[in-house]
Amino acid sequence: MGQLGNKVALITGSGRGQGLVAAQRFASEGAKIVINDLDAESVEAAVAAVKNAGGEAVGAVGDVSKAADVQAVLQTAQEVCGGFDILYNNAGIGYSATQRFGIAMSDIVNCTEDDWRRILDINVGGIFLFCKYGIPKLIERGGGVIINTASIAALRGAQDAHAYTASKGAILALTRAIAVTYGPKGIRANTLCPGVIDTEMIHDTLISEKNISDLLARNTPLQRNGTPQDVADVALFLASDQSRFVTGEAFAVDGGIIQHIGLA
Ligand X SMILES: NC(=O)c1ccc[n+]([C@@H]2O[C@H](COP(=O)([O-])OP(=O)(O)OC[C@H]3O[C@@H](n4cnc5c(N)ncnc54)[C@H](O)[C@@H]3O)[C@@H](O)[C@H]2O)c1
Residues at the contact surface with ligand X, assessed by CB under 6 A: 12-13, 15-19, 37-38, 63-65, 90-93, 95, 97, 122, 149, 151, 194, 196-197, 199-202
Active-site residue among 88, 95, 133, 164? 164
Choose between 5 and 218: whose C-beta lies nearer to ligand X.
218
DSSP readout, 87-111?
A: EEE-----SS-HHHH------TTT-
Other Cβ atoms within 10 Å of 116 Cβ, number:
17
What gap in Å lies between CA 123 and CA 150, rounded to an integer? 9
Q: Which is nearer to ligand X, 211 or 245 (CB)?
A: 211
CB nearer to ligand X: give 31 or 97. 97
For residue 228, the minimal CB distance to ligand X (Å) is 6
Q: What is the nearest approach in angstroms of ligand X to the Cβ of residue 1?
A: 28
CB nearer to ligand X: pick between 186 and 221: 221
Residue of 148, 197, 207, 134 whose CA lies nearest to 177: 148
In the bound state with ligand X, the residue whose beta carbon lies nearer, of 89 and 247, is 89
Please report the sign of the dihedral spanned by the C-alpha atoms of residue 29, residue 225, residue 126, residue 237.
positive
Burial (Cβ within 10 Å: 0-12, 13-18, ≥19) of residue 155: middle
Q: How far is the CB of 96 from ligand X (least distance, A)?
A: 9
CA atoms of 264 and 257, how far apart (whole Å)? 12
Q: What is the SS3 string spanning 12-28? A: CCCCCHHHHHHHHHHHH
**CB contact at 8 A, 61 and 40:** yes
H/E element holding 192?
strand 187-194
164 is a catalytic site residue: yes
Q: How far is the CB of 178 from ligand X (least distance, A)?
A: 17
Q: Measured from the CB of residue 67, what is the shortest distance to ligand X in angstroms?
A: 12
Positions marked catalytic: 164
